[in-house]
């Protein structure tokens, strides 16, 4: 049993997963491992917007059979509709310059890690017929893919993720405001960012979504090297988004820096959970399967 677990892609080091191939192969491998052994119950309930056909299963209502398709294909198919989705979800991904940072050679940048995590999350949601979309932003909205649950929609999301490159500054509010235009009814909002942004404004926008009835989940992406201040006796530190720089002695500032980082993480966690928002602190050396399971433990939506 231990051997089987160590061979599962979702439990491998993220850097090793990335070496298996592109985002598609990585996400598929992660999700197959994550869903291994899970029983998937079919969702029922139909509405007005036709999405696609699926093979008839015992227990399906006969009124949704496509009799014309039966005559042509000599097989029973059921019509599925867009509203069969359990909910609509929107992933809001930070692609600012600070996300394009890595603190070790055998490690993914925060953005590359986040892309694979988003692809895996989207595949899990789409497999359970939850319409899923994407908004990517830096100082402005860079990409929008509307939420759909139709066959092949995951490939559209993958194409959008593959084209994303790190931008400049970070302004989350326009992207989060746009969610309200794209999710007309209550849904799920997944915010993926290193949270190097205006905390008060971002929290206000997230809480606004929560007040509108949306479920909100925050994935706080950090490189392990960001937890402590290392370096030579004297080093020059530069802000990747503003270009501002300062020369400092890491050893002298290490204690204050580490305490500030711990306090910031605690503040985000406390503020989110106090507002009914799920918060997950994620380091880029954490296997993707562990992140998915941690989310599943607090929200059965992902399980």
pLDDT tens-digit series, residues 95-121: 999 999 999 899 999 999 999 999 999
The pLDDT of residue 110: 98
**Dihedral pair phi/psi, residue 183, rounded to 5°:** -105, 95
The pLDDT of residue 80: 63
Between 261 and 129, name the one with better pLDDT: 261
CATH class belonging to 87-302: alpha beta
Average pLDDT over residues 217-241: 88
The pLDDT of residue 38: 46
Q: What is the DSSP string of 168-200?
A: S----HHHHHHHHHH--SSEEEEEEE---S-HH
Interior CA angle at 145 toward 108 and 157, to 5°?
Answer: 45
The token duo for 140 is 């402005």
Closest CA to 46 of 84, 77, 79: 84
The pLDDT of residue 33: 86
Kindly indicate the confidence band of residue 234, based on its pLDDT and cuts at 50, 70 and 90. confident
Between 136 and 42, name the one with better pLDDT: 136
Query: pTM for this one?
Result: 0.81
Between 203 and 233, name the one with better pLDDT: 203
Kindly indicate the confidence band of residue 168, based on its pLDDT and cuts at 50, 70 and 90. confident
pLDDT tens-digit series, residues 31-73: 988 887 344 433 333 334 555 677 877 766 677 778 887 778 8
In the predicted structure, residue 1 carries a pLDDT above the cut 50: no
Average pLDDT over residues 236-254: 81
Cα separation, 195 vs 237, whole angstroms: 19
In the predicted structure, residue 130 carries a pLDDT above the cut 60: yes
What ranges do the domains of the chain cover?
A: 50-83, 87-302
Average pLDDT over residues 250-278: 94
């Amino acid at each position: 049993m231990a051997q089987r677990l160590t061979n599962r892609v979702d439990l491998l080091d993220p850097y090793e997963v990335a070496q298996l191939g592109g985002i598609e192969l990585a996400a598929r491998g992660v999700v197959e491992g994550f869903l291994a052994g899970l029983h998937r119950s079919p969702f029922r309930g139909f509405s007005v917007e036709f999405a696609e056909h699926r093979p008839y299963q015992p227990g399906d209502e006969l009124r949704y059979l496509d009799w014309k398709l039966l005559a042509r294909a000599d097989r029973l198919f059921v019509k599925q509709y867009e509203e069969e989705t359990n909910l609509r979800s929107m992933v809001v991904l930070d692609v600012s310059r600070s996300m394009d940072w890595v603190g070790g050679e055998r490690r993914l940048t925060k953005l590359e890690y986040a892309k694979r995590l988003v692809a895996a999350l989207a595949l899990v949601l789409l497999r359970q017929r939850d319409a899923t979309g994407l908004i990517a932003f830096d100082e402005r909205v860079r990409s929008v893919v509307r939420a759909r649950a139709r066959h092949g929609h995951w490939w559209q999301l993958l194409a959008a993720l593959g084209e994303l490159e790190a931008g400049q500054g970070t302004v989350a509010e326009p992207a989060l405001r746009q969610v309200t235009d794209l999710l007309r009814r209550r849904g799920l909002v997944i915010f993926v960012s290193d949270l190097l942004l205006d905390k008060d404004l971002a929290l206000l926008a997230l809480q606004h979504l929560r007040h509108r009835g949306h479920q909100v989940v925050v994935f706080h992406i950090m490189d392990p090297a960001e937890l402590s201040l290392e370096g030579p006796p004297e080093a020059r530190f530069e802000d990747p988004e503003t270009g501002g720089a300062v020369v400092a002695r890491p050893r002298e500032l290490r204690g204050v820096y580490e305490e500030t980082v711990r306090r910031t993480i605690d503040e985000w966690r406390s503020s989110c959970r106090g507002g009914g928002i799920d918060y997950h602190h994620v380091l880029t050396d954490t296997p993707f399967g562990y992140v998915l399971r941690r989310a599943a433990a607090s929200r059965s939506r992902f399980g």
